């Protein structure tokens, strides 16, 4: 048996960090476990413009660090490790990690989501060799080059705008003729001369000999095949929940998101879910933070009985 915590939080994005802040400030003995980088997916955002309190915007990395710092100041403990197994048991949930086992009286699952892959030939083979899922991380490598962004949501358009600072040309390839992205991003992208939209088109293959050389494209309206020569492909087609270890334990929707009620309670008493991993999440940093706070308040109530 490992160290006992009143609350173990799995995931260090806005949901987990805000949950950690609320738990620690309520004097609950709390451990937050993060397998990657503190901040979660917002670390990929060059500038977060819609988190209240930052009228000039703030970088995703800075926002994550600030919430973390605030939570630590109230006593949150943080562990960088991967959760390998959870065995639920009333008030004695076992949380196994790559750094050892812990006992959790309650758990907040805030494991977020991971980038969705295109699933076309060449994608896996060329990751890191021209295929990327993070413009903020890899964009500067493509100075003066032609790149493509796949997708039509907020992620795709913010990535395209960021990439236009470095690349000579940014092609946004979208499977429909209408963007899903917010109007404000759409307007900015339309005003950026380096960005060009390729509508009603899907990528069928990524080709290259060691590094990305070209994309094979298919027009969804007339099935016409074309080739686009480039050096970088940024895939921004949404994400999938990081919930695999909860299959069979909790109720998940058909896409794998964890079902909770409005108190963030799952079907197991003492186990809560918050943020992007949760069914019906608005998938915004601010709503994730709100979920985390709600989950923490629910955990505190659970522990007081
Ligand atoms: P979304 O799910 O919003 O958009 C995914 C896009 O990818 C859609 O345009 C979709 O097409 C397309 N797509 C999905 N699967 C495929 C596929 N297999 N092949 C080709 N295209 C595909 O995901 P995002 O990551 O863009 O955004 C997620 C959430 O994060 C949203 O709530 C968004 O508002 C938020 N966000 C907010 C930001 C901000 O405010 N600063 C920045 C980034 C994200 P289709 O439209 O046809 O379904």
Regarding the beta carbon of 41 and ligand 1, being less than 6 Å apart is answered no
Nearest to 84 by CA among 245, 205, 269: 245
* Confidence at 155, pLDDT banded by 50, 70, 90: very high
The pLDDT confidence band at residue 94, using thresholds 50, 70 and 90, is very high
CB 102 within 8 A of CB 8: yes
CA distance 20 to 15: 8
> Which pLDDT belongs to residue 107?
98
Catalytic site includes residue 209: no
User: pLDDT tens digits, residue range 228-279?
Assistant: 999 999 999 999 999 999 999 999 999 999 999 999 999 999 999 999 999 9
| C-alpha span between 76 and 187 (Å, rounded) | 41
Cβ neighbors of 52 (< 8 A, separation 6 or more) are 286
Asked whether the predicted pLDDT for residue 46 surpasses 90, the reply is no
Residue 176 CA: which ligand 1 atom is closest?
Answer: 47
Q: Give the mean pLDDT of the chain.
A: 96
* Percent of the residues in the chain that have a pLDDT greater than 70, as a whole number: 100
Ligand 1 centroid–CA 6 distance in Å is: 36
Find out whether the beta carbon of 89 lies less than 6 Å from any atom of ligand 1.
no
Q: Is 23 tagged catalytic?
A: no
- Active-site residue, 134 included: yes
pLDDT of residue 67: 98
Within 10 angstroms of residue 272's Cβ, the number of other Cβ atoms is 31
Residue 293 has pLDDT above 80, yes or no: yes
238 Cβ inside 6 Å of ligand 1:
yes
User: Of all protein residues, whose CA lies closest to atom 43 belonging to ligand 1?
Assistant: 155
pLDDT digit string (tens) for 6-45? Answer: 999 999 999 999 999 999 999 999 999 999 999 998 998 8
Residue whose CA is at the smallest distance from ligand 1 atom 3: 153
Q: What is the pTM of this model?
A: 0.86
HEC profile of 108-162: EECCCEEECCCCCCCCCCCECCCEECCHHHHHHHHCCCEEEEECCCHHHHHHHHH
pLDDT at 80: 98
Residues, the chain: 305
Residue whose structure tokens are 């992208």:
189
- The Å distance, Cα 156 to ligand 1 centre, comes to 7
pLDDT at 1 > cutoff 80: no
């Amino acid at each position: 048996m490992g160290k006992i915590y009143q609350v173990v939080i799995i995931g260090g994005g806005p949901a987990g960090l805000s949950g950690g802040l609320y738990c620690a400030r309520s004097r609950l003995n709390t451990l937050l476990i993060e397998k990657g980088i503190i901040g979660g997916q917002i670390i990929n955002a060059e500038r977060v413009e819609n988190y209240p309190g930052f009228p000039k915007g703030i970088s995703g990395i800075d926002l994550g660090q600030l919430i973390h710092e605030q939570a630590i100041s109230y006593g949150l403990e943080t562990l960088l490790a991967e959760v390998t197994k959870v065995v639920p048991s009333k008030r004695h949930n076992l949380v196994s990690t790559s750094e050892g086992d812990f006992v959790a009286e309650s758990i907040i699952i805030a494991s977020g989501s991971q980038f969705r892959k295109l699933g076309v030939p060449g994608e896996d083979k060329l990751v890191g060799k021209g295929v990327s899922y993070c413009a903020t991380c890899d964009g500067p490598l493509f100075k003066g080059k032609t790149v493509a962004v796949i997708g039509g949501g907020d992620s795709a358009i913010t990535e395209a705008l960021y990439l236009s600072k470095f690349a000579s040309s940014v092609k946004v390839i979208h499977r429909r003729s209408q963007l899903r992205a917010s109007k404000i991003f759409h307007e900015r992208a339309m005003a950026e001369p380096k960005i060009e939209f390729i509508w009603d088109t899907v990528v069928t293959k990524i080709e290259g000999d060691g590094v990305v050389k070209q994309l094979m494209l298919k027009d969804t309206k007339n099935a016409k095949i074309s080739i686009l020569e480039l050096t970088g492909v940024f895939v921004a087609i949404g994400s999938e929940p990081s919930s695999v270890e909860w299959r069979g334990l909790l109720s998940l929707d058909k896409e794998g998101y964890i079902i909770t009620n409005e108190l963030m309670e799952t079907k197991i008493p003492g186990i809560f879910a918050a943020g992007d991993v949760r069914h019906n999440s608005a998938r915004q940093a601010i709503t994730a933070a709100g979920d985390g706070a709600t989950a923490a308040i629910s955990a505190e109530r659970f522990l007081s009985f």
